[in-house]
Amino acid sequence: MNTNTKITLGAGCFWCVEAIYLRLDGVLDVKSGFSGGHIKCPTYTDICHGRTGHAEVCEIEFDSNIVTLEVILEIFWQIHDPTTLNRQGYDVGTHYRSVIFYHDMEQKEIAKHSMRLADSSGEFDNKIVTEISAWTNFYPADKEHDKYYDKNKEQPYCKLVVLPKIITFEKSRK
């Protein structure tokens, strides 16, 4: 029985999301790309203008016998600020929105329940504004974005933005 499944998550810059989920046991693959927009095969430049409707996302393939969707979503709430609309830190625009693209109705219900739990946890000062939408498309980002952090650890954005998120994630998993 195949227990591999996918969920597509947007939590700001996909470099951060990818770097964290690649470090989670049970995650088989993480692909950076774009979802939720209205044009086919957008480029990174296209989506950065904010006119395509796409979000920067990661398509996460995982083995549900090793890690559950609930755990993946718990981490999702921890690695970004789901209370800011269309921004994560200095990254601003609709393409940086907080979004969960579910692949089936069971995922939709799990995502809604997870969001209710996170919203009522007292963890956030403001209400969660994360979009929960049906998955309709995924377009992989250019190859230069694959495993970006692992290939560019000395790049300033990686040192200042991605690395602190990885450190926080790894401390929380101990």
Alpha-carbon distance 136 to 143, whole Å?
Answer: 22
Helix axes 14-21, 69-78, angle to 10 degrees: 130
Q: Which of 13, 16, 58, 158 is catalytic?
A: 13
- Would you call 16 a catalytic residue per the annotation? no
CB–CB of 50/95 below 8 Å?
A: yes
If we measure between CA atoms, which residue out of 161, 63, 159, 77 comes closest to residue 111?
77
Please report, for residues 24, 32, 36, 58, 121, the alpha-carbon distance to residue 40 in angstroms, rounded to integers and kept in the order given.
31, 16, 10, 17, 38
Alpha-carbon distance 13 to 96, whole Å?
Answer: 6
Alpha-carbon distance 167 to 69, whole Å?
Answer: 22
Using CA atoms of 67, 138, 86, 149 in order, give the dihedral in degrees to the nearest 10: 60
Could you give the residue numbers annotated as active site? 13
